[in-house]
Amino acid sequence: MNFRHRSGEKSEPEINLVPLIDVMLVIIIFLMLTTTFDKIAGMEVALPTADASSASAPVSEEIVVGVAATGDVQINGRRVNGGDVGAIGSVLVSARPAKGREPVVVINADAQAAHQTVINVMQAAQNAGLTHVTFATRQESRR
Which domain does 61 fall in, by range?
49-139
For residue 118, being part of any structural domain is answered with: yes
pTM above 0.85, yes or no: no
For residue 67, being part of any structural domain is answered with: yes
Q: Tens place of pLDDT for every residue, the chain, 143 residues? A: 666 656 656 667 788 899 999 999 999 999 888 886 665 556 666 766 766 565 555 555 889 999 998 889 999 888 888 778 888 998 998 888 877 788 899 999 888 888 889 999 999 999 988 888 988 877 776 65
Concatenated DSSP letters of 30-94: HHHHH----S--SS---PPEE-PPPP-S--S-EEEEEE-TTS-EEETTEEPSS-SHHHHHHHHHH
CATH of the domain at 82: 3.30.420
For residue 15, being part of any structural domain is answered with: no
| Number of domains observed in the structure of the chain | 1
Q: Are 128 and 102 in contact (CB under 8 A)?
A: no
pLDDT value of residue 123: 93
For residue 121, being part of any structural domain is answered with: yes
pLDDT value of residue 54: 54
